[in-house]
Amino acid sequence: MRRYAAILSLALMLGVAPLAVRADSLQTLIHPGDQIGVLVYGDQTLTQNVMVLTDGTIEFPLVGRVPVGGKTPSQAASLLETRLHAYVRHPVVTVSIVTLGQPNVLVLGDVKTPGKYQLRSDAKLTDAIAAAGGIANPNGALPPARVADSSGKVTEVSLEELLQRGNTSLDIHLAEGTVVYVPGAVHFTVSVAGAVDHPGEIQVNEGDRISMAIAKAGDSQSAQTDLNHVRLIRNGPNGTQTTTEVNLYKAIKGGDSSVDVALQKGDVIYVPQGAKHSDIFGGLGSGLLYFLTRLVPIPF
C-alpha cells in the first residue's frame, strides 16, 4: 500500500496519468472524488463507472444513493449486492477504483511554500503539510493546526502530538475545498546575563529551553561559562520571584534533559564565569555546542 501510494504521488507530481487501479487486493478505501467501476455480471445496463460524491455516496440505478465512502471496494460491492437483491436475481457485483480523486487543498501559515495543492483522494493532514514543503520554523513548540472543511467546520489538530510524538490518529483526512492553517511558533524574550558573548534580551520560541537561550547569547571559548551553576530567575503569577540553580553540565554528563528547563516569558538567566571549556569538556570545544548535539533534536 505504502509503495503504491508513493509511486502514485510521484506520478501525479510528474504529470503522468495514473493507470486504472484494481484496488481489491490493495484494500484501498474509497473516498469522495474517486471514480469507481461497478460491474454487475449478466447485466450490461447496470455496469458503469460512477463518481463518488462529496458526501461519500454514489447515485446508482434502481437503488438510488449508496454510501460507499470509507469502504473498501469489496465492502462496497457487498452493499450494492444487498441493495440490488430486490431488483436483480442473485446479483454478483465487483467494484474497483478506476481513478483516484484529486481534491484541491489550500495550505497557509507557517509552511515553506503556502498555496493550493492537488492531493490524492486519501490524503491526510501530513500530506498537505509535506506538499507545502513542511513546517517553516520547526524550532520550539508547534501550535495546533486549524483545518476547515468546505462547510466551514474547523478542527484543531495538535501538531506536537501528531508530528513530534507520532500520534497518527490525529492525521485527519482532507477533502475538496479544505483549508489548512499552520500558525507560527510563539515568540517571546528572555534576558541572559553573565559570562556569555552577547548578554541582553534574547528572542526564543515557546518550548525552547535554557540551553537554547545561552547558545543564542553566545557560548564561545572566551566566555568561559560555568554550566554547573546557571541560575534561572523567574517571576511567579503572584509577583513572587524564585531563583533556581540549574546544572546543565549534569544534563550533558548524565543525559538528564529534564534539567534543561523550558523557558517562560520574562525569565532571567545568569551564567557565571568558570573554568575554560577545554578544562570542563576535555577539549570538546564549546560546551553548549556539545550539549545541543547531545540533547536538542536537530529538525529535518
CATH, residue 175: 3.10.560.10
Average the pLDDT over 219-247 and give the result.
Answer: 82
Tell me, what's the pLDDT at 241?
Answer: 87
CATH number at residue 47: 3.30.1950.10
How far is it, in rounded angstroms, from Cα 291 to Cα 113? Answer: 32
170 and 242: one domain? no
Mean pLDDT of 216-242: 81
Count of Cβ atoms closer than 10 Å to residue 290 Cβ: 16
What is residue 223's DSSP assignment?
G
Same domain membership, residue 75 and residue 30: yes
Residue 110 in contact with residue 137, Cβ under 8 Å? Answer: yes
Decide: 129 and 182 in contact? Cβ < 8 Å.
yes
Q: Please check the confidence at residue 224 and state whether its pLDDT lies above 80.
A: no
| 198 and 289 share one domain | yes
Say if 300 falls within a structural domain.
no
* 258/193 same-domain check: yes
Section 3-16 average pLDDT: 38
Residues 228, 241: contact at Cβ < 8 Å?
Answer: no
pLDDT at 10 over 60: no
Domain end, chosen from 42, 77, 99, is at 99
| Cβ neighbours of residue 27 closer than 8 Å, sequence gap 6 or more | 1, 72, 74
In whole angstroms, give the CA distance from residue 30 to residue 70: 5
Residue 111, domain member (yes or no): yes
Within this chain, do residues 287 and 191 fall inside the same structural domain, yes or no?
Answer: yes
**Of 197 and 108, more confident:** 108
Q: Are residues 157 and 195 in the same domain?
A: no
Read off the DSSP letter of residue 148.
E
Is 10 domain-assigned? yes
Rounded-to-integer distance, Cα 300 and Cα 297, Å: 9
Out of 152, 182, 212, pick the residue that ends a domain.
182
- Determine the Cα–Cα distance for residues 65 and 294; give it in Å rounded to an integer: 58
- Domain with 271, as residue range(s), is 187-295
With residues binned 3-state (H G I as helix, E B as strand, rest as coil), the percentages for the chain, rounded to 5, are: 25, 30, 45
Say whether both 87 and 124 belong to one domain. Answer: no
Q: Quick check: 225 pLDDT over 60?
A: yes
**69, 24: one domain:** yes
Q: Give the angle 160-163-166 at the CA atoms, nearest 5°.
A: 100
Instruction: Say whether both 56 and 41 belong to one domain.
Output: yes
Total count of domains within the chain: 3
Q: What is the pLDDT of residue 221?
A: 66
Domain membership flag for residue 273: yes
15 located within any domain: yes
91 and 130 share a domain? no
Closest by CA position to 96, among listed 8, 27, 194, 186: 27
Report pLDDT digits (tens) over 168-221.
999 999 988 899 999 987 788 999 998 888 899 988 887 788 888 888 888 666
User: What is the structure's pLDDT at 262?
Assistant: 86
Q: What is the number of alpha carbons within 13 Å of residue 149 lying toward its C-beta?
A: 10
pTM above 0.75, yes or no: no
pLDDT at 54 over 60: yes
**Mean pLDDT score, 48-64:** 92
pLDDT tens-place string over residues 258-270: 788 888 888 999 9
pLDDT tens-digit map of 131-160: 999 998 877 678 899 999 888 899 999 998
Contact assessment for residue 264 and residue 180, using Cβ atoms and an 8 Å cutoff: no
281-299: per-residue pLDDT in tens? 433 334 454 444 444 444 4
Domain boundary (99, 132, 151) is at: 99
pLDDT at 165 over 90: no
pLDDT tens digits for 62-100?
999 999 998 999 999 999 999 999 898 899 999 999 988
Measuring CA to CA, how many Å separate 102 from each of 122, 128, 131, 175? 9, 12, 13, 9
**Domain check: are 148 and 246 in the same one?**
no
Statement to judge: residues 274 and 175 lie in one domain: no
